[in-house]
Amino acid sequence: MIAKKLFAAIVLMAVAVGPAWAVQPNEMLKDPKLEGRARELSKDLRCLVCQNESIDDSDADLAHDLRVLLRQRLQAGDTDAQAKQYLVDRYGDYVLLKPPFKTSTLVLWLGPFAFLLVGAGIAAAYYRRRTATAVAADPAVAPLSEAESRRLAALLEDDKKS
């Protein structure tokens, strides 16, 4: 266990070293279309031993292996979704930088909507309360008297006719 942790620490240190070199020329596929798909896909896949880096950005050995693996799948005729699923089957959802929508990510995906709803709710409550208290409390905007109401109705009628 301790050895495993130590190993993980060493791997992390090795990863933290220097700038990322990412994709190497000898990894790249001859077919530019296939290579383009591989690049797009690798941006969404996480280098599992790095801090939040995609395999497209990372220079870790594991990222290299995953890039090669991904390209092998694409060459074998996998669709984008199949190639991604292939990696998820082996490494779990952790490999996806955009986590799938499921129970454990419910809060993550619904959170932004909840924030927006709360914000909109506060704003709406604000507008409602404002109008209510204004009419109730402010003598300057007291409700119309009967005479005023009649006069308003007449004016509105006039407006419609013209």
* Cα radius of gyration rounded to whole Å, the chain: 31
Residue 51 interacting with other proteins (CB under 8 A)? yes
| Site stretch for other proteins (CB under 8 A), options 64-72, 74-82, 120-128, 152-160 | 120-128
SS (H, E, C) 25-47: HHHCCCCHHHHHHHHHHHHCEEC
Tell me which of 81, 122, 140, 156 binds other proteins, using CB under 8 A.
Answer: 122
Q: Of these, 1, 3, 127, 162, which contacts other proteins (CB under 8 A)? A: 127
Instruction: With beta carbons less than 8 A apart as the criterion, state whether 38 and 29 touch.
Output: yes
Q: Choose, by CB under 8 A, the member of 126, 151, 153, 155 that binds other proteins.
A: 126
For the CA atoms of 109, 113, 118, 123, the dihedral, rounded to the nearest 10 degrees, stands at 160
Interface with other proteins, residue 57, by CB under 8 A = yes
Q: What is the DSSP string of 99-160?
A: --SSGGGHHHHHHHHHHHHHHHHHHHHHHHHHHHHHHHH-GGGPPPPHHHHHHHHHHHHHHH
Q: Among residues 117 and 154, whose Cβ is nearest to other proteins?
A: 117
| Closer Cβ to other proteins, 102 or 160, answer by number | 102
Count the site residues for other proteins by CB under 8 A: 44
Chosen residue from 1, 19, 146, 160 binding other proteins by CB under 8 A: 19
Residues 62-91 that bind other proteins (CB under 8 A): none
**Bridge partners, residue 45, by sequence:** 96
d(CA 131, CA 112): 29
Does residue 98 belong to the site contacting other proteins (CB under 8 A)?
yes
Question: What residues make contact with other proteins under the rule CB under 8 A?
Answer: 12, 17-25, 28, 43-44, 46, 51-54, 57, 92-99, 104-105, 107-108, 111-112, 115-116, 119-120, 122-123, 126-127, 130-131, 134
